[in-house]
Structure 1
Amino acid sequence: MSLEFLFTSLIIVLLPGTGVIYTLAIGLGRGFRASVAAAVGCTIGILPAALASIVGLAALLHTSALAFQVLKYLGVLYLFYMAWGILRDGGAMEVNADKSTRSYLKIAVTGTLINVLNPKLSLFFLAFLPQFLPADTAHAGLALVQLAAVFMVMTFVVFVMYGACAAFARDYIVQRPSVMAWIKRCFATTFGALGVKLALSD
């Protein structure tokens, strides 16, 4: 397993996708323990996309470059959509001080569904994992499973850290709308830049 894979995966996990946004919102509204439940759910939600993508990778890798290009531009469109969704009123990063008594299980289930229905995961496993397989890999399926498992562990650890930071900053951010507006603009700019970078890549 290369350092390049670990570094790239860490960057992907750190970027604010729907799972990160959900974990941050739960941390801001319910505190640290609830954010851990959200992180568990989001991590479990990776499994279906990982398994489905790994099963289909053998066929994808033997098709023409056209299939890969189609996936790439779907990823570009999704990144731009996320940027727009963050900036619009009532969008994905609209945070409030929700203090409802939802169980941790329900929080985890919601996190699972968010990632199961998140096309970013499928695009990641389909478009990026094959790049880290050596050309002489004897058991590609097993190698892909190992890469996906490492990605899931990194997701959980990073999401717990996000939740801890959100819980720590909860009072400050909820009471200062201007701070949240600045954070939203930064996240949206990141998504837009990633979309442009992906569109220009080979």
Structure 2
Amino acid sequence: MRNLIEQSQLIYFIAASAALTILPGPDILFVLTQSISHGKTAGIATASGLCTGVLVHTTAAALGISALVYKSALAFEIVKYAGAAYLLYLAWQALKESEELISSAPARETNAFALYKRGIFMNVLNPKVALFFLAFLPQFANIGSGNVPMQIIFLGTIFMAQAWLIFSAISVFAGTIGNKITQKPGIGKYINWGKAGIFTIIGFKLAQSHK
């Protein structure tokens, strides 16, 4: 793979990927809310789920599946509304969470696997992410070297790795802040309301998105 993609091109790709990962967006907001409300381990679990979703989109882009979704208005709409419905479900779940403060670290960091699955579903059910990788990854592939699908998968793996590192660092930082915030009496319900509000906004934005 080293012979297919030049080193300077790979460095530029990593720099561009890191910049895009840090920019405010649904994924980073999702990681922040889970880290603050459930702790750093939950944030890292969520980040791991989101990054697993990156592999799904990368493979889809390499195999041309994302292009088919883009060309099919019905497929795009189905995935889009499924993702929006899932986010609204998460908003409802956030409102259902106990209003009592969860202050102990072991209790806050349970359900990591459930949060991991949430991250996967949120990422996979966003057709905008699929189209992003379909447009972004091929720009850094060396067409003349051949084996473009393998190059795209390789680039997607690099993107996933740097995103996981950045999201994990954010999870540790946000989890530390969350530990301090959740010590304040009565703050638990406001955190849940905030999570519900963020999920609702992201869900409606996704539902209103276009190709």
TM-superposed deviation, 1:167: 1.2
Q: Is structure 2 residue 158 aligned with structure 1 residue 133? A: no
What SS class does the counterpart of residue 146 from structure 1 fall into? Answer: helix
Q: Residue 153 of structure 1 aligns with which residue?
A: 161
The structure 1 residue matched to 2:120, chosen from 104, 112, 132, is: 112
- Do structure 1's residue 31 and structure 2's residue 42 form an aligned pair? no
Contact 2:66 2:130 survives alignment (8 Å): no
Are positions 1:46 and 2:54 aligned together? yes
| SS of the residue 1:169 aligns to | helix
| Alpha-carbon displacement from aligned partner over 1:132-179 (angstroms, at most 9, x marks no partner) | 1224122111111110110010111111011112112226667799xx
Q: 2:39·2:179 contact (CA, 8 Å) conserved in 1?
A: no
C-alpha contact 1:57 1:126 (8 A) present in aligned 2: no
Normalising by structure 2, we get a TM-score of 0.60
Give the drift of 1:38: 1.0
Q: 2:163 is aligned with what amino acid?
A: T
Give the TM-score of the pair, scaled to structure 1: 0.63
User: Which structure has the greater CA radius of gyration?
Assistant: 2
3-state SS in 2 of match to 1:25: helix
Aligned mates of 2:132, 2:115 — CA distance in 1:
24
Q: Note if contact 1:18-1:114 (Cα within 8 Å) is conserved in structure 2.
A: no
The 5 Å alignment of 1:82-121 reads 99=102, 103-121=111-129
Q: 5 Å matches for 1:45-64? A: 45-56=53-64
Which secondary structure state, in structure 1, belongs to the residue aligned with residue 146 of structure 2? Answer: coil
Contiguous gaps of at least 5 residues in structure 2: 81-90, 92-98, 195-211
State the number of aligned residues: 161
Q: Aligned with 1:16: secondary structure?
A: coil
Q: CA deviation at 1:118?
A: 1.9
